[in-house]
């Protein structure tokens, strides 16, 4: 090659990377013929690739001919630089792949209260899988009313939330997880506690002091509360349970949440064949969010649970 490249190499393309890999193999094998088996291509193809690389770099990299294969001074320097470049690429690949195996960072998750007693345990199983996949991940759980969970996800302070699905806010995506059934309950000490369902008239039931939720619910579920005489409200299900257990109010609770008190004889369901509703619970994330490997791994685990 009679002259050096007049202009510096503008950029290193994928084609250049391929040529440098071939060049490294030729050097490490000690020549074109010896590199044929390693590269899986013929000597003439290797020669063409080496000529392409020399033309791209504007440098003579090696002597080849009857005297055998030998690197030029520039070829030795290019070989050392190629080793650094290809080694750095391999390190990058290894570290990125390692992120999938060893997740790092935080997961900020907002939950509607009293989901832990759900028999499906999808959230619990997904959190367990996430922690197994990324032992260094820090999990932060906040228990908030549904509207605060949605606002937290929308504002970015929460990565994901789990809320009752009642319509949807613009800017959020909802992924249905499961459905829970709520029944109408009263507690020991309430006038209806020992009244047989067959003798309990709807008019009398609807005149009892009842509790209304202050969080958003679908319109068809709101109708169940509109039929009652709601004289108290609560921002969450635990607040509703507190009031029901006074023996002064009736109110709806998820059956899985009320089960322990039911077994203790402290609660009873009122006309359960008629007074009930099913509520869908959904995972909520921000639409158009920035990529987050921890969150995506949790969502993948959540989708794989049942």
- 3-class DSSP string for 154-195: HHCCCCEEEEECCCCCCCEEEEEEEEEEEEEEEECCCCCCCC
Residue 14 has a pLDDT of 87
Mutual angle of helices 32-39 and 43-57, in 10-degree steps = 100
From first to last of its 306 residues, the chain has per-residue pLDDT tens of: 444 555 666 688 888 889 999 998 888 888 888 888 888 888 889 889 989 988 888 889 888 777 678 889 998 999 888 888 888 887 777 667 666 666 788 999 998 877 777 777 888 899 999 998 888 889 999 988 888 899 999 888 899 999 888 777 889 999 888 889 999 999 999 999 999 999 999 999 999 999 999 888 888 999 999 999 999 999 888 999 999 999 999 999 999 999 999 999 999 999 999 999 998 889 999 998 887 888 999 999 888 876
CA-based torsion, 64, 67, 71, 72: positive or negative: negative
Query: Quick count: other Cβ atoms within 10 Å of Cβ 67?
Result: 7
Give the Cα separation of 61 and 20 in Å (integer).
Answer: 11
Beta-carbon-side half-sphere exposure of residue 258 (alpha carbons within 13 Å): 29
Secondary structure class of 11 (helix, strand, coil): coil
Cβ pair 219, 190 in contact under 8 A: no
Q: Which residues of 269-289 are buried (b: 16+ CB within 10 A; e: fewer)?
A: bbeeeebebebebbbbbbeeb
Cβ pair 59, 124 in contact under 8 A: no
Closest by Cα among 199, 202, 182, 201 to 272: 182
Burial of 221 (0-12, 13-18, 19+ CB in 10 A): middle
Both tokens of 235, joined, read: 């921002």
Residue 88 has a pLDDT of 85
Torsion of CA 218, 222, 224, 228, to 10 degrees: 170
Domains of the chain: 14-101 (1.10.10.10), 106-306 (3.40.190.290)
Query: Cα 34 to the chain's mean position, in Å?
Result: 49
The strand ranges marked E within the chain are: 62-63, 70-71, 106-111, 138-143, 160-164, 172-187, 209-213, 229-234, 251-254, 267-269, 276-286
Residue 191 has a pLDDT of 95
């Amino acid at each position: 090659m009679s002259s050096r490249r007049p202009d510096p190499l503008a950029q290193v393309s994928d084609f250049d990377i391929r040529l440098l890999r071939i060049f490294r193999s030729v050097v490490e094998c000690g020549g074109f013929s010896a590199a044929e088996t390693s590269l899986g291509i013929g000597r003439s193809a290797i020669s063409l690739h080496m000529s392409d690389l020399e033309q791209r770099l504007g440098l003579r990299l090696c002597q080849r001919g009857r005297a055998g294969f030998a690197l030029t001074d520039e070829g030795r320097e290019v070989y050392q630089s190629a080793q650094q470049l290809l080694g750095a690429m391999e390190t990058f690949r290894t570290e990125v792949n390692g992120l999938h195996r060893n997740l790092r960072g935080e997961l900020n998750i907002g939950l509607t209260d009293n989901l832990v007693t759900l028999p499906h345990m999808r959230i619990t199983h997904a959190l367990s899988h996430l922690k197994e996949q990324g032992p260094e991940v820090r999990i932060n759980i906040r228990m908030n009313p549904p509207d605060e969970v949605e606002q937290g996800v929308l504002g970015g302070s929460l990565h994901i939330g789990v809320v009752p699905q009642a319509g949807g806010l613009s800017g959020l995506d909802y992924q249905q997880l499961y459905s829970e059934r709520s029944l109408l309950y009263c507690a020991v000490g309430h006038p209806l506690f020992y009244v047989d369902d067959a003798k309990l008239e709807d008019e009398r039931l609807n005149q009892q002091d009842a509790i209304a939720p202050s969080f958003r619910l679908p319109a068809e579920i709101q109708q169940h509360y509109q039929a009652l005489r709601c004289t108290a409200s609560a921002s969450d299900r635990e607040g509703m349970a507190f009031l029901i257990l006074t023996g002064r109010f009736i109110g709806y609770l998820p059956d899985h949440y009320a089960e322990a008190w039911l077994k203790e004889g402290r609660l009873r369901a009122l006309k359960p064949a008629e007074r009930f509703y099913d509520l869908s619970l959904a995972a909520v994330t921000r639409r158009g969010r920035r990529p987050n490997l921890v969150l995506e791994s949790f969502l993948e685990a959540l989708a794989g649970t049942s």
